[in-house]
Amino acid sequence: GENVEQHPSTLSVQEGDSAVIKCTYSDSASNYFPWYKQELGKGPQLIIDIRSNVGEKKDQRIAVTLNKTAKHFSLHITETQPEDSAVYFCAATPGGSYIPTFGRGTSLIVHP
């Protein structure tokens, strides 16, 4: 089955800095890669996703890149703000499966 590794487990940055979270996956059949943000006491919410026919996707301060050859994908947050502090999860879903495998999460702390 699919295996997703996520690093780092904790990331501390100063407000205004950039933050990068990296994930690797094992199943070459995975073709959908969502990223979720989980705020304290809430459920995860989708912030951005990318499919295997695209190498990069951007939405304002958030971007995701995908390297299918190396089987890794990354979340980039620029100009971080205190409200970006949360736990972020990556996931990989094999085509036709509809069952994602999640990374273990990254706790992002943005210091004012």
Choice between 28 and 45, CB closer to other proteins: 45
Q: Is 112 in the site for other proteins (CB under 8 A)?
A: no
Across-strand partners of 38? 87
Dihedral sign (CA 5, 22, 13, 61): negative
> Which DSSP string do the residues of 10-47 spell out, in sequence order?
EEEEETT--EEEEEEE--TTEEEEEEEEE-TTS--EEE
Q: Is 32 in the site for other proteins (CB under 8 A)?
A: yes
Choice between 16 and 95, CB closer to other proteins: 95
Footprint of other proteins on this chain (CB under 8 A)?
6, 9, 31-32, 34, 36, 41-46, 49, 51-53, 89, 93, 95-100, 102-105
